[in-house]
Amino acid sequence: MDVRTEREEPEIDLTDAAALAAPAGTPGEMIAEEVSAWFGSHKVLENLNLHMPAGRVTALIGPSGCGKSTFIRILNRMHELVVGAALAGSVLLDGADIYGPHHRPTDTRRRIGMVFQKPNPFPTMSVYDNVLSGLKLTRSRATDRDALVEQCLGRAGLWNEVKNRLRAAGGALSGGQQQRLCIARALAVQPEVLLMDEPCSALDPTSTRRIEETIEEIKQQVTIVIVTHNMQQAQRISEQCAFFNVNEGEPGRIVEIGPTAQIFENPKDQRTADYVHGRFG
């Protein structure tokens, strides 16, 4: 007798697909197909399917421990850095599987940037050099470095605060400023997608608000996928939400995907409703 719980079928709300899709030809569209993940022999994610449209913000919500961070690290090939990590399925960026045999991890990571939960600017470099560090590390060139620094810091909402101390050490800024510096650094290599793993969880409300403004400003050029525990934040900034859940002893799965308004006001699955109304999580 089959004692497995019934397979979760991810729900993509097709009636709102038109609202979800970006203008045709915009780069930065990501699709995860049948993604599963293991740490050693322990399966942590099972058969995830998620379409992240270009130019939009997709929020990944759900209780802790259901694999949202693992999933997001699969999207920029950071998952494989852990000893014993394994995955199945494919991740398409603009139609091409980033795990394909001819794709370099380094190229993928340049096109799909990441901002981490704990701000990690390079402490021995100045603010100016921190922003440009991605270029140096990937041997990319910039025609006008000063302009690029100003543009990236501006988009990250940090320019006015540091324009007079660009040579100060990157580690000397406050937590919120450091995180915005990390965003500027990630933007400097012109990624198509920006992954954000709970970027505001360690920050004060003012910095959080500033970063949310940044997300709003840059999302047209950079697809955003953000993991967040803060449901009000998800409602504020995302167009689409994916709700992750996990049962004890089982790998994590996506329970429901849909436009943000629908997920919060009229979720299709009872578990989604329980979560967004605060009954667990």
Partner 1 sequence: MSVDLDDPGLQAPPDSPNGHVELAPMRPGALRWNDVAIFLGAAVSSLSLVWLVYERLAPTSGALGFLICWVLTFLLVYWIVVREVDGPLVATDKLVAVGIGIVAVGLLVPLVSILVYIIYQGLHALTVGFFLRDMTGISPQQPASAGGAAHAIVGSLEQVGLALVISVPIGITAAVYMNEVRGRMTRAVRTFVNAMSGVPSIVAGLFIYAIWLLQFHHSFSGFAAALALSILMLPTVARTAEEVLRLVPDGLREASLALGSPEWRTTWSVVLPTARSGLVTAVILGMARAVGETAPLIMTSFGTQTMNWNPFSGAQQSLPLFVWQQYQLGGGAVGTPGFLRAFTGAFALIMVVLILFVIARLFGRSKFSSR
Partner 2 sequence: MDDAPGAALATSDAAGPRAISRNRTTADRVYRGVAAAGGMVTFVVLFLIGLFLVIRSVAALQVAGLKFFTTASWPPALTEHSQFGIAAIVYYTVEIALIALAIAVPVSIATALFIAEYAPRQIRKPLTSLVDLLAAVPSLIYGLWGFFYLQPKMVGISEWLNMHLGFIPIFQVTERLFTSSPFIAGVVVSLMVVPISTSVMREVFSQTPQGEKEAALALGGTRWGMVRKVVLPFGVGGMIGGSMLGLGRALGETIAVAIIISPLLTISPHILQSGGNSVAAWIALRFSESTGGLPLSALMAAGLTLFLLTLGVNVIASFIVSRSRSGSGIEI
Nearer to partner 2 by C-beta: 135 or 181? 135
**Binding of partner 1 by 180 (CB under 8 A):** no
Residue 70 interface partner, choices partner 2, partner 1, none, CB cut-off 5-8 Å depending on type: none
Nearer to partner 2 by C-beta: 102 or 279? 102
3-state DSSP assignment of residue 49: strand
**Binding of partner 1 by 138 (CB under 8 A):** yes
- How far apart CA 253 and CA 274 sit, in angstroms, is 16
**Binding of partner 1 by 136 (CB under 8 A):** yes
**Binding of partner 2 by 273 (CB under 8 A):** no
Residue 80 interface partner, choices partner 2, partner 1, none, CB cut-off 5-8 Å depending on type: partner 2
Among 17, 19, 96, 137, the residue binding partner 1 under the rule CB under 8 A is 137
- How far apart CA 241 and CA 145 sit, in angstroms, is 36
Residues 101-130 close enough to bind partner 2 by CB under 8 A: 101-106
- For the stretch 143-162, what's the b/e string if a residue is b when 16 or more beta carbons lie within 10 angstroms of its beta carbon? eeeeebbbbbbbbbbbbebb
Helix axes of 205-218 and 175-188: crossing angle, nearest 10 degrees: 20
- How far apart CA 23 and CA 133 sit, in angstroms, is 32
- How far apart CA 279 and CA 264 sit, in angstroms, is 13
Residues 77-96 close enough to bind partner 1 by CB under 8 A: 78, 81
- How far apart CA 26 and CA 18 sit, in angstroms, is 15
**Binding of partner 1 by 267 (CB under 8 A):** no
Q: Which residues bind partner 2 (CB under 8 A)?
A: 36, 38, 41, 47, 80-81, 83-89, 99-106
